[in-house]
Chains A and B, each alone.
Chain A
Amino acid sequence: MSHPLSHTWSLTLSRMRLAMRNRAFFFFSLIMPMAFLFGYAELFRRLGPAAMLYVLPMVLALTVMGTFWGLSVQLVTFREQGILRRFRVTPVGASAMLGSSLISNYFLTLPTIAIEFYISRSLFHMAGLGNLLSVFILVTIGIVTFASLGLIVASVTNTMQETQIINQIIWFVFLFISGATIPFPMLPRMVQNVAVYLPATYLVSGLQRAMIEHANLLQLGSYLASLIGCGLIAFIISAQLFRWEAEAKVPRQAKLWAAAAVVPFLLLGVWETVNGDLRSHAMRNLQTIREPYTLERMDR
């Protein structure tokens, strides 16, 4: 069997094996999300059983967003070490190489997601599971999108150092102003105005709506469409800009192409600013965890 799909699959299995032998990967893909889960759960748990329904989506979003780092950084290392050029003399194409990043990221992230669900339910007695289909689809599309965004950074940066710096900047923005670490309604209004242009914000909000409001795929349609659009554009541009050789530098002009990946969220952000309901949903969902807490206090 020798077909681009079979190449992608062989590479996927190989890269999953390599990732599992990498301690740093284990730390960022399993240990760190678990630390967040236990930390948040401890912080929010006393607010009532409904709190876990608010906390888990934040942790799930963090886990999904982690694929932004994942195997795309591994590709930069491969390129710098001259590993990619050995693949170039084989029938393997750029799409198979990039595709294997997405698929291995997906399969490596799913077990963490499942463990997070299991712990939330069994250890922290999470009330209900939300709309599981919506959560599953959001997680799936989220992983593909964030891993593709990682690929696009890998494609437009010339060195590992450059990749790390740009990734850190984007990662911190995703982390702190999307609602994944600080609940969206608690962010200053000005920050919220920026956050509505970030894919991470819609991932967090979408997951919270799926878990708390049981939102179905139709209700999350605009979020999903923007995530798919962003992921698709990022993947196509990454394939176009893909370089096998460390010495092949990306033209400065080509870096602008990368900006095309943010177009779906620019549109969604404008729409959200004019007549969106993300803020009201976020506020309502945050209040769901406060209610038992308030009642508890009133009882005393």
Chain B
Amino acid sequence: MLLGATIEVNNLTKRYGDVEALRGVSFAVDEGEVFGLLGPNGAGKTSTVEILEGLRTPDGGSVSVCGLDPQTSGAEFKYAIGAALQATALPDKMRVHEALDLFGSFYPKRRGTQELLGRFGLEEKRTAFYSQLSGGQKQRLALAMALVNDPRVVFLDEPTAGLDPQVRREIYDIIEELKKGKKTVLITTHYIEEAERLCDRVAIVDHGKVIALGTPRELKQRSAAVTRITVRMAKPETNGALSKLEGVAECRTEADDYLLYSTRVPRTIVALVKHLEEQNNELVSLEISTPTLEDIFLELTGRRLRD
């Protein structure tokens, strides 16, 4: 456990009837860090974040946010946090600016409605009813509401789930701005791209446990996952020689491409070029893909994130 971490989660357990949602989750988030909980649906991400928000009580273990216990610290805790829940819902007939005015009125320190509307691109929708907003606009409003009190810690539970790629990128820009603003952000997601692009550190969660924790780069380096080399050649290979090249763990074909899974990329490439020369063959294209967090998840659990 890091000393003086902004968020501390220690051996957290939670059970819903027969289902063990959390089985000893531990991690710590430093001040100003964007921390991601990455895992498939039902992994325990939302349970963890909702315990940190004070919405649920843990069965065991302990949590603290800014040194405060979410269950017992009352208003002081609420002033310190902002949250965009997995499904933020507001009354249909509430106007956008009214929502920001209302939620802002609950805090001693608050950001102006006009400023938030401008920042989140909601100026044109200022007087629109909540029911008239698109999914992306609702999500931007949820984020604006999470920041209405200029909190130290922001919890974003699946902030881009179900949104189209363009809206998702808009949300990424907003989160990146929070990062620049040195906010401590805890984000849950099952999108690899989101975790890799936004998070300083990631905890991979599965079946209520943290199965890997580190920066996206560390996780990839630590992984035994192999690099994929996609090769296209002028003449097809049929004798299976590619799978015997140095460093190649596995070779597959996909249409005209050969996919070489290598544990020693430079040596495999040298061996490949030599082999092609010997065979009097030519290289048409070559692409190297490093392992993603998806590959690491697959390696650790034997399943894909979206399974």
Contact = CB atoms under 8 A, between A and B. Distances in A.
Contacts of A14: 94, 98, 102
B102 A10 contact: yes
A78 B91 contact: yes
Interface string A15-44: 001100110000000000000000000000
A168 interface: no
A88 interface: yes
Interface stretch (A79-87, A199-207, A261-269): A79-87
Interface string B86-108: 01111101100010001101111
A91 B91 contact: no
Interface range on chain B (Cβ under 8 Å from partner) = 20 to 34
Contacts of B88: 86
A89 interface: yes
A6 interface: yes
Nearest to A6: B105
A90 B83 CA distance: 9
A284 interface: no
Interface string A90-115: 11100000000000000000000000
A89 B85 contact: yes
Contacts of A18: 91, 93-94
A18 B94 CA distance: 7
A258 interface: no
B94 A92 contact: no
Task: Name B's interface SS.
Answer: loop
B184 to A, nearest CB: 16
A85 B53 CA distance: 11
A90 B78 contact: yes
Given A10-B102, A10-B105, A11-B102, A88 B55 contact: yes
Contact of A85 (B85, B98, B108): B85
Nearest to A13: B102
B89 A82 contact: yes
A90 B106 contact: yes
A89 B83 contact: yes
Contacts of B89: 81-83, 86
Contacts of A244: 55
B54 interface: yes
A7 B108 CA distance: 11
A2 interface: yes
B85 A86 contact: yes
A162 to B, nearest CB: 21
B81 A89 contact: yes
B102 A21 contact: no
B303 to A, nearest CB: 28
A83 B105 contact: no
B75 interface: yes
B118 to A, nearest CB: 23
A83 B106 contact: no
Given A7-B105, A83-B91, 12 more contacts: A2-B107, A2-B108, A10-B106, A14-B98, A81-B89, A82-B85, A86-B85, A88-B55, A89-B81, A90-B78, A90-B103, A92-B106
Interface of A: 1-2, 6-7, 10-11, 14, 17-18, 21-22, 78, 81-83, 85-86, 88-92, 244-245
8 contacts: A7-B105, A11-B102, A85-B85, A86-B89, A89-B78, A89-B81, A91-B107, A92-B106
